[in-house]
Amino acid sequence: MLKVNNIEVVYSDVILVLRGVSLEVPDGQMVSLLGANGAGKSTTLKAISGLLRTQEGEVTRGSIEFDGQRIDNLTPDEIVRLGIVQVIEGRPLFQHLTVEENLRTGALFRSASSKEIAQDIERVYHFFPRLRDFRTRTSGYLSGGEQQMIVIGRALMAKPKLMLLDEPSLGLAPMLVQDIFGIIKQINEESGVSILLVEQNANIALKTAGYAYVMESGRIVLDGSSAQLSQNADIKEFYLGLTSVGERKSYRDVKHYKRRKRWIG
């Protein structure tokens, strides 16, 4: 169980980005975190995984607990060893390594036998059969969808208890997004990995995850079960792109959008 308690995050000692964020991810659950660009979603994930430090960021208030242990003062490699792995936004690969070498990097910190590693690689191929055909290819040349499969597969190689996924749908064709989210759900259900999912695509996030938080300007402004949020008028309008009468919203509404957004904040 992950508990984020009212954290504040500051970059470079002066830039206040998170102003009191609290959220929970119960064991085995899938929770999504929605919000506009710059709301602080990625920052929240980095605060959890400890990667904030590599970018001069710091948790200045509040606390983060995982399975009852404080983790906000641990280094990224210690946090990975506790079972939390982050799939960074923009699906970065070790481009010059092959697909299978990329997968292996996910398990480097574990002291697993080569037999175990081979089994874990098989498990990744079970979720992403397509990767098997590309195993010896240089990963940097694969398509965006295939790269997304590699980064999720690589995270699986860490045998995580909790996976932090940052915008897996970014720049993918709608069909592929459906596929990838299907597999994410499968990973969550079959392997019991808890998932905290950051998305711009509220539509698919609300369909896939059971519970959701909505962030704006460094704060959580709404949370609830995905079913509840899907019915919320503001969510419908601002995140699902529907007006109250269920039509696509037009550019004329942009001003209105800004006003309403501030009101929610």
Partner 1 sequence: MNWVLVPQQVINGLLNGGTLALIALGIVLIFKSSEVFNFAAGHMVMLGAFLTWMFAGGEGTGEELFKLPLWAAVIAASIVAIGIGFLIERLALRPMTGQPLLAIILMTLGLSQVMEGVTTVAYGVQPKGNFPAPFSPSDAFNIPVPPVNGASIVFLDRLQIGHARLATFVVAIIAAVLFILFFQYTKTGLAMRATSENHELAQSMGIKVSRVFGWSWAIAGIVATLGGVLLATLSGVSVSLSTVALVAFPAILLGGLESFPGAIVGGLLVGLAQEIVRASTVVEVRNASDIAPYILLLIILVLRPEGLFGQRRIERI
Ligand X SMILES: Nc1ncnc2c1ncn2[C@@H]1O[C@H](COP(=O)(O)OP(=O)(O)OP(=O)(O)O)[C@@H](O)[C@H]1O
Q: Which residues bind partner 1 (CB under 8 A)?
A: 49, 51, 54-55, 76-77, 80-81, 85-86, 88, 92-97, 101, 104-106, 108-109, 138, 140-141, 154, 158
Interface with ligand X (CB under 6 A), residue from 7, 25, 30, 39: 39
CB of 154 to ligand X, least distance (A): 20
- 11 sits near ligand X (criterion: CB under 6 A): yes
Residue 130 binding partner per list ligand X, partner 1, Mg ion, none, with a CB distance cut-off of 5 to 8 Å that depends on partner kind: none
Instruction: Specify the 3-state DSSP secondary structure of 76.
Output: helix
How do 194-199 and 162-166 pair as beta strands? Answer: parallel
Residues 164 and 48: beta-carbon distance below 8 Å? yes
CB of 17 to Mg ion, least distance (A): 11
Residue with tokens 């574990």: 110
Residues 64-103 that bind ligand X (CB under 6 A): 89
Is the CB of 85 or the CB of 235 nearer to partner 1?
85
CB of 217 to Mg ion, least distance (A): 14
CB of 233 to Mg ion, least distance (A): 26
d(CA 43, CA 54): 12
Q: Where are the alpha helices (DSSP H) in 209-253?
A: 226-231, 233-238
By the 10 Å C-beta count (0-12 exposed, 13-18 middle, 19+ buried), 244 is classed as exposed
Residue 208 binding partner per list ligand X, Mg ion, partner 1, none, with a CB distance cut-off of 5 to 8 Å that depends on partner kind: none
CB of 165 to partner 1, least distance (A): 12
Residue 95 binding partner per list Mg ion, ligand X, partner 1, none, with a CB distance cut-off of 5 to 8 Å that depends on partner kind: partner 1
Q: Which of 25, 91, 79, 83 is nearest to 47 (CA)?
A: 79
- Backbone phi, psi, residue 123, to 5°: -65, -40
Q: Which of 71, 52, 34 is nearest to 196 (CA)?
A: 34
Select the span of 41-49, 98-106, 180-188, 219-227 touching ligand X (CB under 6 A). 41-49
